[in-house]
């Protein structure tokens, strides 16, 4: 990879790289039961995976409060249909979203601290909807990023290099002086198309390689 003299900034994917989802199935099973619907965990898990797939393809549609609320309602409807629960999606959606909680991946915070302490500027590049700003604040990550570039706010989704170019523009960094870290092939494709170097997580591994 080379030393620090070759880098001015690092851009990072969020979900699967710095942040992961706490298993929502136990809470969703309980939530359904509270509404008179008794479903086995494996069935709830399958319904959640179906909803996650639906959301992942449409996360960019959540670009403001009304569109996020609409997207959440549609996602809840997908889940309820998959789990065969005759419950109203508009009322269930806020409860469903509240059941989805995120946590930092092991070593993620320490790695961000280490990268910043080495003089590197950081930006998040994600396909998440605009609520990602809330999640970053809740997890205490906001202060580490100079900018956060989302698919919802740019109209581009990974692997579209426009997402990465926007991050570079905000950072004021040339592609050759930047590295992107992400866990998916779309991260790799987008970073390379934007002229950036690419590395897989964990982010903590970079600290040793950058020394």
Kindly provide the b/e burial profile for residues 139-165, where b requires at least 16 CB atoms within 10 angstroms of the residue's own CB: bebeebbbbbbbbbbbebbbbbbbbbb
Beta strands in 4-120 (DSSP E): 9-12, 19-21, 102-104
Please provide the CATH number assigned to the domain covering 4-20+104-209: 3.40.50.1000
Strands 178-181 and 102-104 turn out to be unpaired
Alpha carbons 200 and 132: distance in angstroms, whole number: 21
Q: How far apart are CA 5 and CA 121, in angstroms?
A: 13
The rounded distance, in Å, linking the Cα atoms of 41 and 38 is 10
- Would you list the domain boundaries of the chain? 4-20+104-209, 23-100
Residue with tokens 């396909």: 127
Q: pLDDT tens for the chain, 211 residues: list them.
A: 455 568 999 999 999 999 999 999 999 999 999 999 999 999 999 999 999 999 999 999 999 999 999 999 999 999 999 999 999 999 999 999 999 999 999 999 999 999 999 999 999 999 999 999 999 999 999 999 999 999 999 988 999 999 999 999 999 999 999 999 999 999 999 999 999 999 999 988 877 766 6
Picking from 189, 35, 39, 178, the residue whose alpha carbon sits closest to that of residue 127 is: 189
| H or E element that contains 138 | helix 132-138
Tokens of residue 152, six digits: 């919802």
Q: For residue 33, what are its two tokens?
A: 């039961």
């Amino acid at each position: 990879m080379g030393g620090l003299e070759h880098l001015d900034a690092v851009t990072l994917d969020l979900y699967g790289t710095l942040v992961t989802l706490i298993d929502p199935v136990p809470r969703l099973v309980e939530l359904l039961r509270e509404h008179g619907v008794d479903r086995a965990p494996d069935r709830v898990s399958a319904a959640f995976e179906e909803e996650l797939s639906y959301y992942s393809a449409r996360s960019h549609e959540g670009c403001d409060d009304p569109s996020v609320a609409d997207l959440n309602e549609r996602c809840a409807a997908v889940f309820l249909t998959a789990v065969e629960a005759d419950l109203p999606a508009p009322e269930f959606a806020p409860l469903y979203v509240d059941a989805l909680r995120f946590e930092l991946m092991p070593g993620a915070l320490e790695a961000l601290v280490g990268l910043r302490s080495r003089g590197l500027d950081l930006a998040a590049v994600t396909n998440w909807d605009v609520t990602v700003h809330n999640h970053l604040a809740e997890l205490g990550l906001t202060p580490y990023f100079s900018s956060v570039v989302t698919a919802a706010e740019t109209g581009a989704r990974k692997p579209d290099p426009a997402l990465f170019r926007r991050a570079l523009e905000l950072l004021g960094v040339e592609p050759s002086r930047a590295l992107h870290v992400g866990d998916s092939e779309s991260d790799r494709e987008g970073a390379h198309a934007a002229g950036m170097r690419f590395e897989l997580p964990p982010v903590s591994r970079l600290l040793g390689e950058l020394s």
